[in-house]
Amino acid sequence: MSDLFANIKFDTGRAIAILSIDRKIYSKSAILKVCYWFSEDLYFQVTEEENHFSMTVRLREATPTLDRPSVKKLDEWLPDILNALVDAQLREEIQVETAGIRELIIAKAFAESGILEGLPPGTFEDPVETTQPESTRLLKIDTRIPK
């Protein structure tokens, strides 16, 4: 298994791993999605270098506890992280390639109803219309402090 991770740097206790991720292959958002996905069990730090992203991975809990009697080693997490990176990047590529057709399908789906012709109520900056007069607000907000 250690040969598989020849390009990954470890600290002496193999509790921290530093992955060098080629930025020509993986996007920043794909990397961050992977970090989020594993954040329950691992800590991540991502830094941006000239040609690559550097991802530092550390176990949240390295020793077994009563709550978690069996702890996966960092070596055991790495294949999952590498697979998740590939998956996240593929999902991005699918999203980019299908963005146009997705919009077309939605437009076709709701074109006859005319629902998409009108703008949704409110604005992005003021979604509950707090700046509008109270009589025309979509949502009534009671600002009084309860006694």
Partner 1 sequence: MSRSFSPKAAFQPPETGYRLLPFRFHRVGKEQEILVNECGEFALAPRGTAEKLVRKRLSTDEELYTTLKAKHFIYDDYSSALLDVLASKYRTKFGFIYEKSESLATIRTKSQD
Task: Please say which residue, 41 or 87, places its beta carbon nearer to partner 1.
Answer: 87
What count of other Cβ atoms lies within 10 Å of the Cβ of residue 9?
Answer: 12
Point out which residues bind partner 1 (CB under 8 A).
83, 86-87, 90-91, 93-95, 97-98, 101-102, 104-106, 108-110, 113, 115-116, 118, 120-121, 136, 138
Task: Please say which residue, 15 or 96, places its beta carbon nearer to partner 1.
Answer: 96
Distance CA(144)–CA(147), nearest Å, equals 9
Task: Please say which residue, 15 or 128, places its beta carbon nearer to partner 1.
Answer: 128
Shortest approach of partner 1 to residue 86 CB, angstroms? Answer: 7
Shortest approach of partner 1 to residue 129 CB, angstroms? Answer: 10
| 31 contacts 85 by C-beta, under 8 angstroms | yes
Q: Percentages helix, strand, coil for the chain, rounded to the nearest 5?
A: 35, 15, 45
3-state SS, residue 98: helix
Task: Please say which residue, 47 or 83, places its beta carbon nearer to partner 1.
Answer: 83
Q: What are phi and psi of 22, to 5 degrees?
A: -65, 125
Shortest approach of partner 1 to residue 45 CB, angstroms? Answer: 26
